[in-house]
Structure 1
């Protein structure tokens, strides 16, 4: 039986690979094994399908962050933060939802820009809200320098995260490693006591 879940799974791969403009409902329907008009039984159209995937991907990313924090919060902050970056890179390589999410955040369809950026900015605010207590706790325990302040340290960390995401999209492995190594080194020296 045909379900909206199957349509979303196949659509995610198409949108992640080809973007909004390159993804075709006809190709999606073909890969699901249905006629194109059957998609409209579940979704009003391409926009509604895309926005649902965007919302789902945001929720997936928040679940990843919450799970990462739960399973790693007792580790030293240096390992915690660096491993968060490493797992983010790994997710981009192996996870269609993450690939779709990052592509969508950087290249939203122009006519959906406002709606997509609302979801992206809510995600970024939530990410900061989730990481801030971890960084503040490390400051309180004397693991890292508290002169900078938790909000500033968290925002700077997210700047590194943004930088590696840009290199994942545009730069390739060597540029990514160079950017990550340099950014991480300067960031960590700034936080170290």
Structure 2
């Protein structure tokens, strides 16, 4: 219970103040424990930060894998759209986690930049393998135009990343109407 509370408080503070602007003393104060008690759960502030980062990435991959089980009978087009919409729903309902990821990737703590990048790329590789299977199925069924699957994956990931950033500009309400147009244009470019 205390570990979860430490993570929840840390998520909010790291999101709002960044890595350098957040102290373990402040986390402990808000949680209602002494600073040394944090070390019962985490080795350091760095360990806590990386744990949050990995938890968020891991949750995303877990959710995508669960979603794939639910939508396995859909067409490749429907699967790709469903994943996109589910990811957007995650951004909308998990604003702190989304903001934490955005800050960690765009403004990483300098000493953690390499580690964060490696872990992000590992997570992206898992996601890409899921997408690879969908794009391959779409090409085989002549639903997606034939092309380099890695380029198709890259375009899809850029689509998701762009929407991720646009959530910051426009907010979830305005994004709902934009997402359909964004999807339609993307599909126009890859559909058969």
Which residue in 2 is equivalent to 1:12?
Answer: 11
Deviation at 1:26, TM superposition (A): 2.4
Q: Under a length normalisation based on structure 2, what TM-score does the superposition of the two structures give?
A: 0.84
Which residue in 1 is equivalent to 2:83?
Answer: 84
Q: 2:76, 2:138 within 8 Å by CA — same for their partners in 1?
A: yes
- Indicate whether 1:115 and 2:115 are aligned: yes
Which residue in 1 is equivalent to 2:60?
Answer: 61
Deviation at 1:66, TM superposition (A): 0.9
Instruction: Tell me which moved more, 121-130 or 79-88.
Output: 79-88
Deviation at 1:184, TM superposition (A): 2.5
The alignment of Structure 1 onto Structure 2 pairs a total of residues equal to: 191
Which residue in 1 is equivalent to 2:103?
Answer: 103
Structure 2 distance, partners of 1:103, 1:126, is 22
Q: 1:73, 1:134 within 8 Å by CA — same for their partners in 2?
A: no
Structure 2 distance, partners of 1:170, 1:111, is 29
RMSD: 2.4
Aligned pair in 2 of structure 1 residues 88, 167: CA closer, same or farther (>3 Å)? same
Which residue in 2 is equivalent to 1:142?
Answer: 142
Structure 2 distance, partners of 1:177, 1:94, is 13
Deviation at 1:136, TM superposition (A): 0.8
Q: 1:4, 1:42 within 8 Å by CA — same for their partners in 2?
A: yes
Structure 2 distance, partners of 1:179, 1:93, is 14
Structure 2 gaps of 5+ residues are: none
Aligned pair in 2 of structure 1 residues 104, 170: CA closer, same or farther (>3 Å)? farther
Deviation at 1:163, TM superposition (A): 1.0
Q: 2:42, 2:48 within 8 Å by CA — same for their partners in 1?
A: yes
SS in 2 for 1:105: helix
SS in 1 for 2:143: coil
Q: Under a length normalisation based on structure 1, what TM-score does the superposition of the two structures give?
A: 0.84
1:119-163 CA deviation, whole Å, 9 max, x = no partner?
111112221111110121122122222x22322222211111111
Q: 2:14, 2:21 within 8 Å by CA — same for their partners in 1?
A: yes
